[in-house]
């Protein structure tokens, strides 16, 4: 579980489909969707007496996975345990030391099928399974390199065991039309993950297969879908592809509501117009920064003008946008912060996860490798897969600490207020507008505080005096706005009651 409300795990659906096509009996137990504790999840797993148990993991949920694993064993079950996903791929040794029998690096369909066959017949040997890692007497052993990726149209449609639960929770039903991304952003784990296996870092399904799946799911009661591609419109997809998708949706006579992710440099008016015609009402767009110098450090493909053009087009077509933002990295300057404040204010209608954002230093990324080479990498004290690093400019550090303190004070209500739009939920247009309005109110409060902090720090002076002034300002503003936030929480609760939603996300571990 995380600070987000639960959504289906399509990766589990693909793994189950591949195994079932080979004749194996598979049970999907989604503890996040079902709201299970570790003890309840372990009881469910042990009750099936499985021979193989696979966990989809990030570094941040290793503790809960291990707790569940130990409880399964205490119950007397001794299945072969496999961990896969981003966390095990980049932290294999930690997962193996914690008690997993093996780790899959990269995509899991071929590896899990080989492990199942090994457990049944002894062949292939574990050491011969591509992409598998185990602990040996000599320590960590990465066995054969991960295999070339399976073309997406050769994969079966994912199993939908959890569809009814997803619909009951008003979560969007997940559909995948492509895997990977062709960009090379320094901070991103996606390309690093895709490079683990052989072949291209981006590959797609054909439009007929995509719309077949949408049509089938709509026949089972689904109306709202999240296209979970890391980047929807990658080459060779272009304006014509978007038009072909919209034409096929129209030809089938279906009207899905779609949400996806797109890079700003891939946004043109024909692209937005055709995707809107296909049913897209919401996008996640990695704007990341409004300063050219910061975008260059990140190796972003888009420049500031393209970021602004993309947001203007989305607004023109009435599309909700969650604008990903990275305000701080180790080299952030005050002038960059000022540039961001100005354009964040201009685009305050975008959906935001909060005023405090920093570049995530995950293992396997170019950013983390650079920090390691320059001696700036301070490790991962929280065990969440996010390495720490110092900021170069002490004045920027003051802004960083102030915004972090501000956001920590409001993170619980922030996560709850924006979840129906950022997740998003299957809402009618009126409810969607109401929650978007709540998010904009939070954004305005954030930006007002950001402006106050910048006015103090930009005035200059001895750093210790500035530190005291910023601390006093932060305390005063937290006190002054406390009543407003109390009233705001009541507004959020009323909106949830009206929409018939329940928020059950946990506190954000990366900010609390």
- Other C-beta atoms closer than 10 Å to the C-beta of 352 total 23
* pTM of the predicted protein model: 0.94
Q: How far apart (Å, rounded) are the C-alpha atoms in residues 376 and 380?
A: 12
Task: Note the pLDDT tens digit of each residue in 208-227.
Answer: 999 999 999 999 999 999 99
Give bridge partners of residue 202 from the DSSP assignment.
Answer: 180
Q: What is the pLDDT of residue 510?
A: 67
How many angstroms separate the CA atoms of 346 and 355, rounded? 15
Residue 37's alpha-carbon distances to 64, 99, 488, in angstroms, are 9, 20, 30
- Rounded to 10 degrees, the C-alpha dihedral 321/322/327/330 comes to -120
Per-residue model confidence (pLDDT) at position 125: 94
Q: Shortest CA distance to 177 belongs to which of 251, 256, 124, 113?
A: 256
DSSP assignment letter at 156? P
The domains of the chain, with CATH numbers, are 10-142 (3.40.50.280), 170-326 (3.20.20.70), 331-512 (no CATH)
Two structure tokens written together for 505: 């996300």
The three state secondary structure string of 278-306 is HCEEEEEEEEECCCHHHHHHHCCCCCHHH
Note the pLDDT tens digit of each residue in 341-394.
Answer: 999 999 999 999 899 999 999 888 999 999 999 999 998 887 777 899 999 999
Q: What is the dihedral of CA 312, 336, 441, 419, to 10 degrees?
A: 80
β-bridge mates for residue 322, sequence order: 284, 351
Average pLDDT, the chain: 94
* Alpha carbon distance 357, 476 (integer Å): 22
Distance separating alpha carbons of residues 160 and 241, to the nearest angstrom: 27
């Amino acid at each position: 579980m995380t600070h987000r409300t639960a959504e289906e795990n399509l990766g589990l659906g693909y793994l189950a489909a591949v195994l079932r096509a080979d004749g194996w009996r598979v049970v999907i137990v989604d503890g996040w969707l079902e709201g299970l504790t570790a003890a309840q999840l372990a009881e469910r797993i042990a009750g099936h007496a499985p021979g193989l148990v696979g966990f989809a993991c990030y570094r941040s949920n290793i503790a809960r996975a291990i707790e569940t694993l130990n409880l399964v064993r205490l119950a007397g079950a001794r299945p072969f345990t496999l961990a896969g996903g981003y966390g095990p791929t980049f932290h294999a040794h930690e997962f193996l030391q914690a008690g997993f029998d093996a780790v899959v690096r990269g995509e899991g369909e071929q590896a899990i099928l080989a492990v199942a066959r090994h457990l049944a017949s002894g062949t292939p040997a574990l050491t011969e399974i591509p992409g598998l890692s185990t602990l040996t007497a000599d320590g960590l052993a990465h066995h054969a390199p991960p295999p070339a990726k399976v073309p997406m149209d050769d994969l079966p449609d994912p199993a939908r065991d959890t569809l009814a639960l997803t619909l009951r929770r008003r979560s969007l039903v997940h559909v995948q039309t492509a895997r990977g991304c062709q960009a090379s952003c320094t901070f991103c784990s996606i390309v690093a993950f895709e490079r683990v296996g052989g072949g291209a870092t981006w590959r797609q399904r054909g439009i007929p297969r995509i719309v077949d799946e949408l049509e089938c799911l709509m026949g089972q009661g689904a109306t709202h879908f999240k296209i979970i591609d890391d980047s929807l419109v990658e080459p060779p997809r272009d304006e014509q592809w978007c038009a072909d998708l919209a034409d096929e949706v129209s030809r089938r006579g279906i009207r899905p509501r779609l949400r996806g992710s797109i890079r700003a440099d891939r946004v043109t008016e024909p692209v937005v117009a055709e995707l809107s015609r296909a049913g897209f009402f919401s996008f996640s767009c990695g704007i990341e920064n409004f300063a050219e110098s910061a975008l260059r450090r990140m190796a972003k493909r888009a420049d500031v003008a393209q970021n602004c053009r993309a947001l203007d087009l989305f607004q023109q077509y009435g599309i909700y946008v969650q604008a990903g933002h990275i305000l701080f990295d180790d080299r952030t300057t005050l002038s960059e912060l000022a540039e961001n404040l100005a354009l964040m204010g201009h685009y305050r209608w975008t959906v935001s996860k909060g005023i405090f954002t920093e570049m995530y230093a995950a293992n396997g990324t170019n950013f983390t490798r650079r920090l390691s080479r320059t001696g700036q990498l301070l490790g991962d004290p929280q065990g969440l897969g996010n390495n720490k690093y110092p900021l170069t400019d002490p004045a920027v550090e003051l802004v960083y600490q102030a915004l972090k303190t501000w956001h920590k004070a409001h993170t619980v209500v922030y996560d709850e207020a924006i979840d129906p739009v950022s997740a998003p939920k299957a809402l009618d247009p009126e409810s969607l507008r109401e929650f978007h309005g709540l998010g904009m109110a939070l954004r305005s409060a954030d930006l007002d505080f950001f402006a106050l902090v910048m006015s103090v720090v930009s005035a200059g002076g001895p750093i210790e005096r500035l530190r005291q002034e910023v601390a006093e300002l932060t305390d005063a503003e937290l006190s002054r706005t406390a009543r407003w936030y109390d009233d705001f929480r009541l507004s959020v609760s009323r909106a949830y009651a009206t929409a018939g939603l329940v928020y059950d996300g946990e506190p954000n571990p990366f900010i609390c």
